[in-house]
Amino acid sequence: MSATPSGTRVLVVEDDPHLAAGVMENLRAEGYQVSTAGDGEQALAWLGEQGCALIVLDVMLPGIDGFGVCRTLREQGNKHAGAVSHRARRPRGSRPGPGVRW
């Protein structure tokens, strides 16, 4: 992630419309360029077409969950994006893995 937020692209992946809007508005207020996706499939489709510096990722998503999105991105060799889980429900015994912070 670049040191100055101005124009830095962030993707917010969140299935709850209120949370998605709240996170997006706050990041925009800090100067980030923010897009949102409502589920893992939308997120992967969006990331297939454009890049971003950071993904703010919910773990509990309908369809492909947050871990699935991270795994798919890693398998695709997508290394440019860091992923942050903003409200994780940590499954027992799970490890976030490289590129993922709780």
Partner 1 sequence: VIARALRAEARVLEEQENFLALVSHQFKTPLASLQLSLETMALRTLSAEQSRTLIDRMLADLARMEAMVTQILESARLERGRVEFKSEPLELGAAVARVVAHLEERARQERIRISCDIGPGLFVVSDPLALDVVVRNILENALAAVTPLGGGSIALSARALNGEVELSVRDSGVGFRPADGARIFERFTRLHPRGGGGHYGTGLGLFIVHRLMHLGQGRVSAHSEGVGQGAHFVLTWPAAQGQRS
Among positions 9, 71, 74, 87, the unique one binding partner 1 when judged by CB under 8 A: 87
21: helix, coil or strand?
helix
| In the complex, least distance from residue 16 CB atom to partner 1, rounded to whole angstroms | 5
Residue 42 or 72: the one with the smaller Cβ distance to partner 1 is 42
DSSP code of 33? E
Region binding partner 1 by CB under 8 A among candidate stretches 3-11, 24-32, 45-53, 64-72: 24-32
Among positions 60, 64, 65, 84, the unique one binding partner 1 when judged by CB under 8 A: 60
Q: Verify binding: residue 29, partner 1, rule CB under 8 A.
A: yes
Q: Where are the alpha helices (DSSP H) in the chain?
A: 17-29, 40-49, 66-75
Q: Which residue has the tokens 């297939």?
A: 48
Cβ contacts of 71 within 8 Å, gap of 6 or more:
none
